[in-house]
């Protein structure tokens, strides 16, 4: 499977960014991204020279738009056409999500716990959600050095709570990238697992996110597979567990070769955790020389599981990477 290094939340001159699409894509290429989603606030006008910029930079561009309202910011990715945000009221966001889906797009909560008005109008999510199954994903890491920020920890906890409630919803990172400024902070990447199905790479990337086939990291790429009755299941898929089965076999791969030279972590023993609805299911030491970790976890009562990599970053112990969930049914 090809994993596409993606930045899913960006802006240009066409909203409040301070960069053109060409500058954005060129900057993304230098940071080792294969793909960006252009998500200007309430407009898709910045996509005018999308095809030419893709050819010049080699960076895949996913069409999108950030609904920027008084009640929250919602990132929409994969839109075929503009979808008007102005009718969205605090209690009827589901109608807006339905319109986004009708245009082939996905809808995700952007930075749901960022400080709101008057510092950032509408940045804090206040839309009423009646059915979490309608929402496609939550941007759980926002900005640079995202894992250590309190608002991101709240977003990550929200995602975990939704998984525990039986909702199958994806999690992403998004820099909310407005300008070409250098930073020493770790930059997050959302890797999207492309299938061999039809469509452009952009369409395959949107389909990967729709199916939860995503992993997020500030360094190495962590992926996971689960085995039951001789069949392997990937991230975002559901593992059927027959009555009487008591263990699920997992393979977790840590790939330290991705985006080489573009991130750096001190030499250390990392902690690889398997987390599910019942808490931490397994924990092992992982070193940079390690590649695949094999172990089994109890199946009884389990409805989801993900892999997490923890370590020391800039002197702080924090999560380095995580996979989206594998579900158990």
Digit-coded pLDDT (tens) for 209-246: 999 999 999 999 999 999 988 899 999 999 998 766 68
Average pLDDT over residues 236-259: 89
The pTM of the whole model exceeds 0.85: yes
Domain regions of the chain by residue span:
2-217, 221-328
Report whether 6 contacts 189 (CB < 8 A): yes
21: helix, coil or strand?
helix
**pLDDT above 70 as % of the chain:** 99
Q: Is 81 a residue whose pLDDT tops 90?
A: yes
Helices (H) and strands (E) in the chain, counts: 5, 19
**pLDDT above 90 as % of the chain:** 90
Average pLDDT over residues 8-14: 98
Residue whose C-alpha is closest to residue 30's, from 62, 59, 61, 10: 59
Report whether 33 contacts 205 (CB < 8 A): no
pLDDT, greater one: 251 or 243: 251
The band of 156, judged by pLDDT with boundaries at 50, 70 and 90, is very high
Residue 258 sits at φ, ψ, to 5 deg, of: -70, 140
Average pLDDT over residues 278-306: 91
Half-sphere exposure of 235 (CA within 13 A, CB side): 29
Q: Is 60 a residue whose pLDDT tops 90?
A: yes
Write the CATH number of the domain with boundaries 2-217.
3.20.20.140
Spell out the long-range contacts of 291-297 with Cβ–Cβ below 8 A and sequence spacing 24 or more. 291/253, 291/254, 291/255, 292/251, 292/252, 292/253, 292/254, 293/251, 293/252, 293/253, 293/254, 294/249, 294/250, 294/251, 295/249, 295/250, 296/247, 296/248, 296/249, 296/250, 297/247, 297/248, 297/250
Q: Is 290 a residue whose pLDDT tops 80?
A: no
What is the DSSP secondary structure assignment for residue 132, as one 8-state letter?
G
221-328 CATH, one of 1.10.1740, 2.40.160, 2.60.40, 1.10.3470: 2.60.40
Average pLDDT over residues 167-186: 97
Report whether 144 contacts 178 (CB < 8 A): no
Omega before residue 118 within 30° of 0, cis: yes
């Amino acid at each position: 499977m090809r994993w596409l290094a993606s930045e899913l939340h960006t802006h240009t001159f066409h909203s409040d960014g301070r960069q053109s699409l060409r500058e954005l894509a060129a900057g993304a290429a230098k940071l080792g991204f294969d793909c960006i989603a252009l998500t200007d606030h309430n407009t898709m006008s910045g996509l005018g020279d999308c095809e030419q910029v893709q050819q010049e930079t080699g960076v895949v561009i996913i069409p999108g738009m950030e609904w920027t309202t008084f009640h929250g910011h919602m990132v929409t990715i994969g839109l075929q056409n503009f979808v008007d945000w102005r009718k969205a009221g605090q209690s009827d966001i589901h109608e807006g999500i339905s319109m986004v889906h009708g245009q082939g797009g996905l809808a995700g909560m952007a930075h749901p716990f960022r400080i709101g008005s008057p510092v950032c109008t509408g940045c804090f999510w206040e839309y009423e959600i009646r059915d979490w199954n309608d929402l496609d994903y939550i941007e759980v890491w926002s900005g640079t050095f995202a894992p250590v920020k309190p608002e991101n920890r709240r977003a990550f906890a929200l995602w975990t709570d939704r998984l525990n409630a039986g909702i199958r919803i994806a999690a992403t990172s998004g820099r909310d990238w407005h300008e070409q400024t250098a930073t020493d902070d770790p930059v997050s990447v959302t890797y999207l697992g492309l299938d061999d199905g039809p469509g452009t790479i952009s369409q395959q990337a949107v389909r990967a996110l729709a199916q939860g086939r995503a992993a997020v990291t500030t360094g190495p790429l962590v992926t996971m597979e689960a085995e039951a009755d001789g069949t392997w299941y990937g991230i975002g898929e559901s593992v059927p567990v027959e009555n009487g089965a008591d263990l699920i076999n997992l393979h977790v791969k840590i790939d330290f070769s991705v985006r080489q030279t573009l991130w750096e972590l001190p030499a250390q023993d990392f902690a690889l955790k398997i987390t599910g609805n019942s808490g931490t299911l397994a924990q092992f030491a992982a070193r940079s020389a390690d590649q695949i970790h094999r172990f089994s976890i109890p199946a009884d009562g389990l409805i989801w599981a993900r892999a997490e990599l923890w370590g020391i970053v800039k002197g702080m112990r924090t999560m380095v990477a995580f996979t989206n969930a594998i579900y158990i049914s």
